[in-house]
């Protein structure tokens, strides 16, 4: 068994594994982000019972599969409910099934990357996503 020394805390750890201090630092980083930067109203919404039941309904509609992947012709397990029109853009649609699509983490990240390119690309993709769920 090969061991290495953690560069941060100096503990011996099994090579190829993360030191427990990394998890501790990550927890602390999330704690600071939550306290100082996270939008508390949105956080409250995303942890509500209403949102949890809506997530379950969207997942059931998609049979647990990524709806964007299905439209592209391949199967991928989903794990994230995505607002097609963001809550900031259209707060009136935040609880609408017609504004939610079930995605894999990979496609969710891909879609947000496209959203961030420019307004035209975002609008085209939003129209495409709406077409997929209808």
Position of tokens 């963001």?
86
pLDDT for position 133: 94
Please report, for the chain, how many H helices and E strands are present, in that order. 6, 4
Supply the pTM of this predicted model.
0.78
Instruction: Find the mean pLDDT for residues 16-25.
Output: 89
Cα–Cα distance, 68 to 126 (Å, whole number): 12
Per-residue pLDDT of 64-113, as tens digits, reads 999 999 999 999 999 999 999 999 999 999 999 999 999 999 999 999 99
Angle at 28 between CA 87 and CA 88, to 5 degrees: 10
């Amino acid at each position: 068994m090969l061991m290495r020394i953690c560069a941060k805390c100096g503990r011996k750890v099994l090579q190829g594994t993360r030191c427990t201090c990394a998890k501790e630092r990550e927890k602390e980083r999330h704690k600071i982000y939550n306290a100082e930067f996270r939008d508390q109203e949105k956080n409250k919404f995303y942890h509500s019972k209403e949102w949890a039941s809506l997530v379950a309904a969207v997942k059931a509609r998609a049979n647990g599969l990524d709806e964007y992947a299905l439209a592209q012709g391949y199967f991928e397990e989903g794990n994230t409910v995505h607002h097609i029109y963001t809550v900031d853009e259209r707060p009136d649609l935040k609880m609408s099934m017609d504004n939610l699509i079930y995605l894999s983490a990979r496609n969710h990240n891909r879609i947000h990357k496209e959203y961030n390119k420019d307004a035209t690309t975002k609008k085209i993709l939003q129209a495409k996503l709406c077409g997929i769920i209808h």
